[in-house]
Amino acid sequence: MRPPYLLLDVDGVLVPFPGADGSTSATHARHDVVPTGRGADDPVTIWLNPAHGLMLMDVISTGLVAPVWCTSWRQDAATLIGPLLGLPHLPHVDLPRPKITTSQPNGYLWKRDYVDVWLADAPAVWIDDDFTGLDHAWAVERTARGAVTLLIQPDPRTGMQAEHVAEARAWAGRLLAMRTGASGASSGTDAGPHKEDRTRATRGGSGAVWCC
Footprint of Mg ion (CB under 5 A): 9, 11-12, 129
Query: Rounded to the nearest 5°, which phi and psi values hold at 76?
Result: -65, -20
Min dist CB 132 to Mg ion, Å, is 13
Q: Cβ-closest residue to Mg ion?
A: 12
List of residues 6+ apart from 44 with CB closer than 8 A:
32, 33, 34, 35, 38
Nearer to Mg ion, 15 or 55 (CB): 15
Kind and range of the H or E run holding 203: strand 202-203
Min dist CB 105 to Mg ion, Å, is 15
Nearer to Mg ion, 11 or 135 (CB): 11
Nearer to Mg ion, 46 or 64 (CB): 46
Tell whether the torsion through CA atoms of 31, 26, 28 and 11 is positive or negative: negative
- Amino acid letter, 76: D
Nearer to Mg ion, 124 or 212 (CB): 124
Confirm if 204 and 211 have CB atoms less than 8 A apart. Answer: no
Largest Cα–Cα separation, the chain: 61
Nearer to Mg ion, 31 or 174 (CB): 31
Count Cβ atoms below 10 Å from residue 113 Cβ, excluding itself: 14
Min dist CB 72 to Mg ion, Å, is 8
Kind and range of the H or E run holding 116: helix 112-119
Min dist CB 140 to Mg ion, Å, is 21
Min dist CB 153 to Mg ion, Å, is 10
